[in-house]
Chains A and B, each alone.
Chain A
Amino acid sequence: MKKNKTARGYFLNTAVIVLLFTAFQILTAAKGSQGAFKLVLVPSIWQCCYLMVLAASLNLVLGFMGQLSLGHCGFMAIGAYTAALLSLACERAEWFDGKNDPRFLAVLIISVLAAGLLAALFSLLVGIPALRLKGDYLAIITLGFGMIIINIINNLPFCGQDGLALGSAGASLYKNGLGFGSKAKVQFLWFALAVTILSLTLLFMFVRSKYGRAIKAIRDDEIAASASGINTSKYKVLTFAYSAFFAGIAGALYACTNATLSTSSFAFTNGGILNSTFVVVMVVLGGMGSLTGSAVAAVIMFLVNYEIKNGQWVSLLPASLSGIFEYPMLVYALVLIIVILFRPKGIFGTYEFSLQNLIPDIRNAIKRHRAAKAEKEEAKANA
């Protein structure tokens, strides 16, 4: 019976994904050239895609394994630069000609995979020494590692500020590499969605296997985990690399959305949404230990960030309120503090959104709500 349920879950998820995917394709075909769809919605989906993958991959380390890594954007930077440079090199070697060339798809896939692999490789370099250390030390080493990566990329002659030269005269990613302009973003939207769904699925598979159990055990009690025969360092390093792989993939998706790359976007002191600490905010907001929570939180953070800067409703607010929104980072910091203070488990806690359990969950929630209401009324009546 249990196995049937699992099989049904797989079937349901696949069906819904395929359905959504088709819907998206139809929508794309119908509205592909329309301004707001092409210029606002599609680029937003692209950005949500890499933020979702990034946040979910960090959740593996932070939420499931209980290790604070503050250098996650370093891995993303590695991925972004790897994918960008590889695609530029392929173009220079004339392996593909424009985005409609079928060979481009091969280059694209290889670039994305290479981005993940290189990020995973670097994560081994930092993880093997660093993961022997406990929480706080790991945080500081990964933070330092993030800075080293930026520092090194800045100093590499072929990828610093020169290699991905600026603007239309330089080797633009839109023209020469895997970067997608507005029209191409619509055309390749399926790719972003596919990579994201696949990444999230693979992260899920990891968590729902012996690896997931092992790292949750490490999170809950490292000594007891090793006393239960779990090779803690092996699982920690492996998980770190698995997570970095997807951070690298997120980086590749990031490179796809941009015409140029700049290391300052990934830097610790950067005030933007790609700051490593902000990925931590997403994970905490969504719930440490809930991959779907991370994905939802990434979308929320993106929307808040986007709306604060480009939305119209901010200007509808009274002046005293909209004043705060001129400083989006201040809003995030406040949100983070409030969430930690009042709901330290984040929005989802460790709950995973699932299609299969959606209806029973809602039914239970309503039942609980009714029961609570009835109890309250009873209490009132008694009083």
Chain B
Amino acid sequence: MPEQKMPVLETRKLGISFGGLKAVSDFNIKIFPGELVGLIGPNGAGKTSVFNLLTGVYPPTEGTVILDGKPLNGKKTYQFVEAGVARTFQNIRLFKQMSVIENVKAACTKDIEYGLFAATFRTPKFWKAEKAVTEKAMRLLEICGLADVSELPAASLPYGRQRKLEIARALATDMKILLLDEPAAGMNPTETAELLACIQTIREQFGIAILLIEHDMSLVMNICERIQVIDYGQTIASGTPSEIAANKRVIAAYLGE
């Protein structure tokens, strides 16, 4: 039973307010290794704010994020990533002027050991590390089906592949939990299907936990093991897909009373 294991990501009473507005309050979630959890809610419910809190983009005004039992209070975004949280963005944020493979390599930066001296004087250590990182990046691109376009500028990819590249880039950070912010937004059914396959492969190969924000209900209901629903910054329901589908508060929130 997963409940006995230690959660990979846990939040306690997490909240943030902008000025007087409480965007998120008393947000509690536990995600266990290997789980795929969905976070849903109507527009403006605070889903992306939760992601920003979970990745340190916004410092929380209350509560804590705990990763593998270690609180991450006061840490910066890159330290969240070092600890093992990676994410994608709702509005794709790629390094547009860089090539596809460079996008992935850039995300490997924190794991590359060589220093300034080795880099400027091209010591054997440098070559070794660069070779390793190129191999790793190519492997990730293959998983996401982008190996054929590795040298093209990121901005030149079609929309669906840009989404995949964002996932590949997130994978490159060797995270424990992956946060996907509306990965299927704006995709046609074929692209969505490909994406689903890709997510499945990732779960199989890496065994990581995934937290997913999604609007596409069928997608969420299909693949998520658990779903948490928020509205006006507060959790209104949480449970298995079938439980959520039957929850009156959720239906009310989505359809309006």
Contacts and interface: CB of A to CB of B under 8 A. Distances in A.
Interface size class of B (residues with CB under 8 A): 35 or more
B57 A223 contact: yes
Contacts of B22: none
Nearest to A242: B116
A223 B76 contact: no
A217 to B, nearest CB: 4
Interface string B146-167: 0000000000000000000000
A217 B97 CA distance: 9
A67 to B, nearest CB: 15
B152 to A, nearest CB: 14
A227 B96 CA distance: 15
Which of A216, A220, A227 has the most chain B CB atoms closer than 10 A to its own CB? Answer: A227
B54 to A, nearest CB: 11
A245 to B, nearest CB: 11
Nearest to A214: B109
A223 B98 CA distance: 16
A209 B126 contact: yes
A210 B78 contact: no
A221 interface: yes
A213 B102 contact: yes
Contacts of A219: 97
Contact of A216 (B86, B106, B131): B106
Contacts of B103: 217
A216 to B, nearest CB: 5
Interface in B29-74: 55, 57
A229 B81 contact: yes
B102 A209 contact: no
Given A213-B102, A219-B97, A226-B78, A205 B120 contact: yes
Interface size class of A (residues with CB under 8 A): 20 to 34
Contact of A238 (B87, B93, B102, B116): B116
Contacts of A15: none
B244 interface: no
A355 to B, nearest CB: 18
Contacts of A286: none
B78 A232 contact: yes
Contact of B120 (A202, A223, A230, A289): A202
A206 B106 contact: no
A228 B119 contact: no
Interface in A202-250: 202, 205-206, 209-211, 213-214, 216-217, 219-221, 223-232, 238, 242
B95 A216 contact: yes
Contacts of B112: 210
B226 interface: no
B93 A224 contact: yes
B172 interface: yes
A220 B109 contact: no
Interface string A334-363: 000000000000000010000000000000
Interface of A (DSSP majority class): helix
A224 B109 contact: no
Contacts of A242: 116
A236 to B, nearest CB: 12
A58 B137 CA distance: 30
A216 B102 contact: yes
Contact of B98 (A209, A210, A217, A226): A217
Contacts of A202: 120
Contacts of B77: 223, 226-227
Nearest to A215: B106
A230 B106 contact: yes
A209 B97 contact: no
Given A229-B78, A229-B173, A224 B94 contact: yes
A139 to B, nearest CB: 21
A220 B169 contact: no
B97 to A, nearest CB: 6
B110 interface: yes
A230 B109 contact: yes
A229 B76 CA distance: 10
B121 A227 contact: no
Contact of B110 (A3, A206, A216, A231): A231
Contact of B97 (A210, A220, A238): A220
B93 A229 contact: no
A258 B96 CA distance: 44
A202 B119 CA distance: 9
Contacts of B121: 205
A289 B106 CA distance: 17
A246 B87 CA distance: 37
B82 interface: yes
Interface in A285-325: 289
B119 A227 contact: no
Contacts of B89: 224, 227
B30 to A, nearest CB: 23
A205 B122 contact: yes
By Cβ-Cβ distance, the 3 closest A-B pairs, closest first, are: A229-B81, A209-B119, A228-B107
17 contacts: A206-B119, A206-B120, A210-B105, A210-B109, A210-B112, A213-B106, A220-B98, A224-B94, A224-B95, A227-B57, A227-B86, A228-B86, A228-B106, A228-B109, A229-B110, A230-B107, A231-B78
